[in-house]
A and B are shown apart, each in its own frame.
Chain A
Amino acid sequence: MKFINLRDGIIVAAIFLSALAFVFVGNFFSGQTAEISVGGEVARIVPLDKDDSFFVGDVSFEVKDGEIFVTDSPCRDKICVKSGGIKNVGETIICLPERVSVRIIGKSDSDSADIIVG
């Protein structure tokens, strides 16, 4: 059989490009959410598609451009503030002294896969 021909070349390229497009578009409309927990319990669920700023306890947050930052905290080292912004599923910011943790969760209610096999 032939190794490659025009029709198949176009088919393969089309598949490749549409998958690529999916990845880019998907990232745009992600509308991901951040889950803020205090002392191990979920305190607030924040959608990341709207810019916002608010307090959870004494820690102040800001949501901007799909990312969430800790803008201020009464803790001593301010590691949480220096952590910068997170936006991808699984990323976290933690403030130990304040016992606050922020985690990005996927679009729907259920968590993303808990185990990866293969």
Chain B
Amino acid sequence: MGLLLALTFALSAVETAVSAGLPAGVRIGLANIVVMLALLSMGKKEALTIVVAKSVFILITKGATAFVLSLCGGVSSFIAVLLLIQSEKNSLILISVVGALVHNIAQLAAASLILKNINTLFYAPVLIIAGVIAGSATGTVIKITLPAVTKAVNDNK
């Protein structure tokens, strides 16, 4: 758990650095990988802890507005993923993509509220495109790493 937390912070820092070169608001969701891994290998309490920890980290490193956005996105995404996981019919890729999309859209909505500017919502299509790509990528990473993570978690029980 501690390892995953450290990983979350590291990935969050990397994502902040990388997003400096990308259009505003495009989330690559690197930290989301850790959240999903935690959810699938440990459980929802642990995963939620990571979501909150990530947001607090962002509060410390980037400030209050970013914190609110991160929390909105993270919690919304968490709930969506939690709901999707209930059904066996949902594949990992759907869950990852929806998770990424919900995260982005929730942040966009929060940003619109904060800025009191409805025009911000026009950004949605771009975010959806980015979200699908990011979701697919994170889904792939999860597929590859989950077996190892689950094994590590179980070995340590």
Contact = CB atoms under 8 A, between A and B. Distances in A.
B120 A16 contact: no
Contacts of B139: 3
Nearest to B62: A118
Interface in B74-120: 85, 88-95, 97, 101, 107, 111, 114-115, 117, 119-120
B129 A19 contact: yes
Interface of A: 1-5, 7-9, 11-12, 15-16, 19-20, 22-23, 26, 106-108, 110, 112-118
B41 to A, nearest CB: 13
A87 B87 CA distance: 47
Given A15-B128, A19-B129, A118-B69, A3 B115 contact: no
B25 A23 contact: no
Listed from nearest, the 7 A-B pairs whose CB atoms lie closest are A19-B128, A8-B94, A22-B125, A116-B24, A8-B91, A16-B132, A19-B125
A106 B122 CA distance: 10
Most buried by B among A3, A8, A9, A118: A118
6 contacts: A8-B91, A12-B132, A16-B128, A106-B122, A110-B119, A117-B69
B138 interface: no
B66 interface: yes
Given A3-B143, A116-B25, A26 B128 contact: no
B24 A23 contact: no
A19 B131 CA distance: 10
B91 A1 contact: yes
Given A8-B91, A19-B128, A112 B119 contact: yes
A110 B117 contact: yes
A93 to B, nearest CB: 22
A118 B107 contact: yes
B127 to A, nearest CB: 8
